[in-house]
Amino acid sequence: MLIVDQLKRGDPKLRWLALGVLVGMFVLITGLWFLQVVNYKKYERNLIEQSYRTVRLPAVRGRILDRNGVILAESRPSYNVNLYLEELRPAFQQQYRLLKSNAVHRIELENKSLPADKKKKTRLTFAQTEELGRQARFMVANNLVRRISESLAIPVQLTEKQFRKHYEEKLSLPMPIVENLSSTNVARFAESLSTLPGVDLQVQSLRSYPSNQLGAHILGYMTRTEKAPNEEEGIEFDYRLPDFKGAVGIEGAFDEQLRGVAGAKSLLVNNMQYRQAENVWLSPKPGDDVILTIDAQIQKTAESSLGMSSRGAIVVMDVRNGDVLAMASAPTFDPNSFVPTITHAEYAKINDVETKPMLNRASFAIYQPGSSFKIVVALAALEAGKLNPHEQFYSKGFYPLSSRYNDRMDCTAGAGYFDFHRAFIKSCNCYFADHGLNTGLDNILRMGHQFCLGQKTGLPTRQDVAGYFPAVGTRKRNMGGAWTFGDTANLSIGQGDIAVTPLQMTVMTAAIANGGKVFWPRLVDRLESDDNGFRKVTESFPAGRVRNELIVKPQNLRLVQEAMRDDVADSEGTGKGAAMSGWQVCGKTGTATVKLGRSMETSRFTWFVSYAPFDSPRYAVVAMVEGGASGGGTCAPMARRVFEALQKMEQNSRVAGPNLVLGN
């Protein structure tokens, strides 16, 4: 080296000095090499850890549509007023300076009256300045909140605790002040508040059900969630934006598909944790749309037929393929009330223990089917050869169940002679009890199992119960005790050890109508995603999945079908309330009397199971009302209104073609 060479002539002491300098510089450069080159990754990681925050961005939730494209659930933009604290820093500082000078001034004033040796220090301690800073920040924020509250005429309270929590835990995120602004308030905001520093509107996607309570039990509802299921493994989020998850129904069952994939953004924060910049590095992927087999118009009719005041259910099914066209349950609720948060009063109302509006009575509640079960008993007896349809049977008007006088089954059909046809349309209990006993318990149970009673219907909505239907060969009551012939008689008229859902009865009715095909009911047709404007089917659920084919003689089935037709058509029939012009409706009424608990109080489940038209069956309608007057009086007219709507729907689609979209 040039310089060192020249030193050789100089004295050794300077060479020692040169060596010392060289060693020192070598130590430094080695240190730098280790830091900047060898351990670079470690320090970069530290840097990222301390200056980046990852925020989860919820994706726009997919819609739920009916079979014709009518929107049942969608995501609408909701406007929230947020405080952006990083923009308020100058105001914070100004306020702090003011507070500080006031505090110092106060001490100086006090000092004036004090002797020189007792004067307090005008310099504030660290803790005091901290406290002043806290006060200043809260005052600035609180003033803004008050202004927002006045301008929008919405009472908003910001507590110091709330503010401090946000400031300390998620300073880099905007602080929500008012959520879900009405459109008038959005206008008011734009007029008077948008120029305020640090205050801005933020758009959030919220769930909305445009038809309010329509199909509420099918759709389900949303609940607020802080933790999403571990969908995005590998990403550790520092913050999550408020998100919702589907609780039950389609929202719950298809939550994953509807939710889409959340995105992520990183916030660059400074040493005070204020936000400096942000960068969306993973855009959220919108969720899929779920297209139901439901027809909104039919659903609407079913719901209005039930009425809000009754407790019951109506299920409408296409008997040709098992598609559920409507599934109504009353009383119902408005899933909109869960978004963004449900009030306590609302929550109490929809969780009423008496009426249970949240309960999906169509598929999630079980009832004794009453006389509507006689369809199964008749088929079993016919198949077993124990029932001659033309043979006359004398009914005394009651049926003795034991030698004790009071232990007998009443019959509303009255005393007299009954053949099968008359017994069916007048729903004679004695006839069916007698023939049920002749047929034998196991034959009835075998027939019931052919209809898959006592088994879940495989609804995806989780609102699916198996109900109860005894196993073949059972000799024990479900409630305990040995099986008696009285139990068999009771079962023959759809009471006692049997509990079904209206949906199960619909599947059964549809199987009678279509000549013996027991379908898996289908509620969801397909999932669709929007791929740059192109609709893409991501998953489809095949229609007409046959679960079981009835092993019955066609002529026996025909006998039952004709009996059902006459139950409506005959002037003596219990179901004549369902008669309508144009279509021959086939039906069977049912009224099950049940004891409520251990008390002597009784309640009635009234039924009407039906399908139409007789000559080319297309639709099954099952109506069930808790506490109704009678199956024929209460439920048959409901079914008729639904059939009329179905008829109208068919006429409309014949006019407009098959792809008619039902509006509104």
Partner 1 sequence: MIGQPTLNTREPRLDWLMVAGLLGLMVFGVLFIYSATMSREGAQNLALWDQPYFKQIVWYGAGTFLAAIVCLVDYPILTRWSLVGYWLSILLLLSLYIPGVGVDNGWGAKRWIKFPFFQIQPSEFAKLAFILFMAHFLSRPMDELRTPKVFLKALGLMMLPFVLILKEPDLGSALVFFPVGLVMMFVAGVPVQFLRRLIGGVTIVVALVMVDVLFAPKNLQFIKLEDYQKQRLLVYFGLDFAPPGATPQERKRWADIQRTKEYNINQALISVGSGGLTGKGWREGTQNALGYLPRTVAHNDFIFSVLAEESGFVGSAIVLTLYTLVLFTGIRIASQARDRLGKIMASGVVALLFSHVFINIGMNIRIMPVTGIPLPLLSYGGSSVLCSLIAAGLLQNIYIHRKSY
Is the distance from CB of 499 to CB of 467 less than 8 angstroms? yes
The DSSP bridge pattern shows strands 524-531 and 289-292 to be antiparallel
* Residue 102 touching partner 1 (CB under 8 A): no
Closest approach of Cβ 268 to partner 1, in Å?
7
Closest approach of Cβ 147 to partner 1, in Å?
25
Closest approach of Cβ 167 to partner 1, in Å?
17
> At a CB cut-off of 8 Å and minimum separation 6, what does 491 contact?
373, 436, 441, 444, 470, 497, 498
Tokens describing residue 161: 């605790």
Give the residue with the Cβ less far from partner 1, 46 or 122.
Answer: 46
Site string for partner 1, 61-90 (x = CB under 8 A): ----------------------------x-
Give the residue with the Cβ less far from partner 1, 270 or 388.
Answer: 270
Which of 44, 108, 110, 539 is close enough to bind partner 1 by CB under 8 A?
A: 44
Give the residue with the Cβ less far from partner 1, 271 or 571.
Answer: 271
* Residue 124 touching partner 1 (CB under 8 A): no
Q: What is the largest CA-CA distance in the chain?
A: 143
User: Considering only 8-16, 53-61, 427-435, 561-569, which stretch makes contact with partner 1 by CB under 8 A?
Assistant: 8-16
Give the residue with the Cβ less far from partner 1, 6 or 113.
Answer: 6
Closest approach of Cβ 104 to partner 1, in Å?
16
* Residue 51 touching partner 1 (CB under 8 A): yes
Q: Is the dihedral of CA 486, 490, 495, 499 positive or negative?
A: positive
User: Considering only 7-15, 422-430, 431-439, 448-456, which stretch makes contact with partner 1 by CB under 8 A?
Assistant: 7-15
Is the distance from CB of 235 to CB of 264 less than 8 angstroms? yes
* Residue 121 touching partner 1 (CB under 8 A): no
CA–CA separation, 586 vs 576, rounded Å? 10
Nearest to 567 by CA among 609, 600, 508: 609
* Residue 308 touching partner 1 (CB under 8 A): no
Nearest to 457 by CA among 507, 529, 408, 407: 507
Closest approach of Cβ 111 to partner 1, in Å?
19
Phi then psi dihedrals of residue 651, to 5 deg: -60, -45
Give the residue with the Cβ less far from partner 1, 93 or 149.
Answer: 93
Q: What is the 3-state secondary structure (H, E, C) of 275-312?
A: EEEEEEEECCECCCEEEECCCHHHHHHHHHHHCCCCEE
Closest approach of Cβ 265 to partner 1, in Å?
17
Tokens describing residue 297: 């118009």
Please, how many CA atoms are within 13 Å of residue 152, restricted to the half-sphere of its CB? 28
DSSP annotation of 367: B
Closest approach of Cβ 456 to partner 1, in Å?
56
User: Considering only 31-39, 75-83, 354-362, 614-622, which stretch makes contact with partner 1 by CB under 8 A?
Assistant: 31-39
Residues in region 330-349 near partner 1 by CB under 8 A: none
* Residue 42 touching partner 1 (CB under 8 A): yes
Closest approach of Cβ 354 to partner 1, in Å?
55
Give the residue with the Cβ less far from partner 1, 275 or 640.
Answer: 275
Consecutive H or E run containing 651? helix 636-656
* Residue 13 touching partner 1 (CB under 8 A): yes
CA–CA separation, 503 vs 25, rounded Å? 86
Closest approach of Cβ 134 to partner 1, in Å?
18
- Tally of CB atoms within 10 A around 36: 10
CA–CA separation, 37 vs 644, rounded Å? 81
Is the distance from CB of 293 to CB of 521 less than 8 angstroms? no
Closest approach of Cβ 98 to partner 1, in Å?
18
Give the residue with the Cβ less far from partner 1, 35 or 187.
Answer: 35
Nearest to 660 by CA among 68, 67, 66, 65: 68
* Residue 39 touching partner 1 (CB under 8 A): yes
Give the residue with the Cβ less far from partner 1, 126 or 405.
Answer: 126
* Residue 466 touching partner 1 (CB under 8 A): no
3-class SS shares of the chain: helix, strand, coil, % to 5: 40, 25, 35
* Residue 24 touching partner 1 (CB under 8 A): yes
* Residue 35 touching partner 1 (CB under 8 A): yes
What is the amino acid identity at position 347? Answer: Y
* Residue 27 touching partner 1 (CB under 8 A): yes
3-class DSSP state for residue 566?
A: helix
Is the distance from CB of 459 to CB of 466 less than 8 angstroms? no
Give the residue with the Cβ less far from partner 1, 42 or 76.
Answer: 42
* Residue 228 touching partner 1 (CB under 8 A): no
Give the residue with the Cβ less far from partner 1, 29 or 187.
Answer: 29
* Residue 116 touching partner 1 (CB under 8 A): no
Closest approach of Cβ 196 to partner 1, in Å?
20
* Residue 117 touching partner 1 (CB under 8 A): no
3-class DSSP state for residue 620?
A: strand
Closest approach of Cβ 93 to partner 1, in Å?
9
Give the residue with the Cβ less far from partner 1, 100 or 462.
Answer: 100
Is the distance from CB of 248 to CB of 217 less than 8 angstroms? no
Torsion of CA 227, 290, 544, 618, to 10 degrees: 130
The DSSP bridge pattern shows strands 546-549 and 619-626 to be unpaired
Give the residue with the Cβ less far from partner 1, 7 or 384.
Answer: 7
3-class DSSP state for residue 463?
A: coil
* Residue 6 touching partner 1 (CB under 8 A): yes
> 50-61 b/e with 16+ CB inside 10 Å = b?
eeebbbbbbbbb
* Residue 7 touching partner 1 (CB under 8 A): yes
* Residue 551 touching partner 1 (CB under 8 A): no
Give the residue with the Cβ less far from partner 1, 137 or 374.
Answer: 137
* Residue 128 touching partner 1 (CB under 8 A): no
CA–CA separation, 537 vs 343, rounded Å? 38
Closest approach of Cβ 90 to partner 1, in Å?
8
Tokens describing residue 220: 């389900």
Q: Is the dihedral of CA 635, 215, 452, 511 positive or negative?
A: positive
Residues in region 266-295 near partner 1 by CB under 8 A: 268-272, 276
* Residue 32 touching partner 1 (CB under 8 A): yes
Residues that bind partner 1 (CB under 8 A): 1, 3-4, 6-7, 9-11, 13-14, 16-18, 20-22, 24-25, 27-29, 31-33, 35-37, 39-40, 42-44, 46-47, 50-51, 89, 268-272, 276
